[in-house]
Copies of this chain bind each other. A is one copy, B any other.
């Protein structure tokens, strides 16, 4: 049951850490720590094994995977030893990482992406290919009438002006090519009515948005704690200091705003009101991938007594994101196999800004996930 994983942004930190991790787990050189699907309660027939994943992808950078791996090792994200051991396997994956196609029209780009996906599928005799966006976060695109209507979109893509941001174009191309699409970033992805229609008409599932790896993960358990205890959160302020390629990009005001909004959503939806305070992202190059977040929460208890809590989270972003990337590839493959179509709201556990009107409390999201896996298993067995 070999499954292709086609990564948009295949030369980035998350992508390469994911590839190396999968190779290391397959070779028995590493434990699948951080891989949610490896928890005993979530064992499932429907999902492919980590060792069954085959990688390829697009990127606009041309840095060789082996060189990126060395840089990740140098930065302490990977054990240096490991980067060496998997070198040959990375060189093989290198064959399937291609430059992002260019063309006069976006329709042309989409077609070329589709052709690359087809070639990848055939070359490796893959049962299915899941496309996952782990490229640089985009600013939110200006609205366009073609975003809401599939026919209008098809027509517009043939025109000379770009109508979709890169992530949405990748989603379009993937869905046209019969591939499920996952967005690990806060970018647009498949989150447009026209693309939702396309997914449904193609019988394909899609998932997103924005992998939940650090501060927001903590929020998704602390906010429910205050809510379940009926304590009133007065303020919640967050500061995120991060370096790395992602940090540099998020320092851009537009990307920053998109990311911060997705980070505060959990509060409003879990508490039922919006406490004072904001979340900030500041670029601090020297930290590289070792993000540090500090949150201050002030709250009110019985008879108005004021209290406070603060936490500092010092996490390695790629090391937290990469195992989720593998989980999402496997889960989306299972969903596809089970015939699930449209937005995969049941994968909210993985995302800061999940699709659909779903709970933002981590424990509830985990139960949704467990139930979804059971349903996939049931459908597959029935067949």
Interface residues of A (CB under 8 A from B): 17, 20-21, 24, 30, 32-36, 38-39, 76-80, 82, 217-218, 220-222, 224-225, 227-232, 234-235, 237, 239, 241, 276-278, 280, 282, 284-287, 292, 294, 296, 298, 300-305, 307-316, 319-320, 322-323, 349, 361-364, 366
Contact = CB atoms under 8 A, between A and B. Distances in A.
A280 B280 contact: yes
A202 B296 CA distance: 49
Given A221-B222, A237-B241, A34 B229 contact: yes
Contacts of A34: 229-231, 301-302
Given A232-B33, A305-B319, A294 B296 contact: yes
A36 B237 CA distance: 25
A228 B362 contact: yes
Given A33-B231, A34-B301, A237-B284, 4 more contacts: A36-B228, A220-B225, A224-B362, A309-B314
A-B residue pairs, 3 tightest by C-beta? A363-B363, A305-B319, A311-B311
B33 A78 contact: no
A24 B221 CA distance: 31
Contacts of A78: 303, 305
B276 A286 contact: yes
A76 B296 CA distance: 20
A33 B304 contact: yes
Nearest to A30: B303
Q: Which of A33, A232, A235 has the most CB of B within 10 A?
A: A33
Q: Which of A278, A302, A320, A323 has the most CB of B within 10 A?
A: A302
Given A362-B225, A363-B364, A284 B39 contact: no
B310 A316 contact: no
